[in-house]
């Protein structure tokens, strides 16, 4: 599945100063996590939001494996973000 663009990854990396900030982890970012899953259904429902910086969190490998569930968002939240992005087009 398509992940975040290099531009989005770069923006998140810069925003987080290159480090994972889960519970003061501060290990280097190696993974970029979707807050709402990058599924076919979600791509149809949230085409602008799914691979946007608002749906991205930079994580170290351990936090991505063990704690990425902490960053999940609800469908209602995703709808709000998608609506906002649609208005900004």
Q: What is the spatial distance between Cα 4 and Cα 80, in angstroms, rounded to a whole number?
A: 20
Are residues 57 and 32 in contact, defined by beta-carbon separation less than 8 angstroms? yes
Q: What percent of the chain lies above the pLDDT cut of 90?
A: 87
pLDDT digits (tens, 9 = 90+) for 28-86: 999 999 999 999 999 999 999 999 999 999 999 999 999 988 889 999 999 999 999 99
* Domain ranges within the chain, ordered by starting residue: 6-88
Please give the model's pTM, rounded to 2 decimal places. 0.88
Number of residues written out for the chain: 89
Output the six-digit token pair for 81.
């973000």
pLDDT at 37: 93
Q: What is the mean pLDDT of the chain?
A: 94
Q: What is the spatial distance between Cα 17 and Cα 3, in angstroms, rounded to a whole number?
A: 21
Distance of CA 13 to the CA centre of its chain: 12
């Amino acid at each position: 599945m398509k992940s975040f663009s290099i531009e989005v990854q770069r923006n998140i990396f810069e925003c987080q100063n290159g480090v994972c900030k889960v519970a003061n982890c501060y290990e280097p970012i190696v993974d970029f996590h979707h807050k709402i899953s990058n599924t076919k259904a979600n791509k149809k429902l949230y085409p602008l939001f799914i691979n946007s910086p608002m749906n991205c969190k930079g994580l170290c490998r351990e936090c991505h494996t063990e704690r990425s569930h902490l960053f999940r968002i609800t469908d209602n939240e995703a709808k709000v973000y998608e609506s906002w992005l649609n208005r900004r087009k």
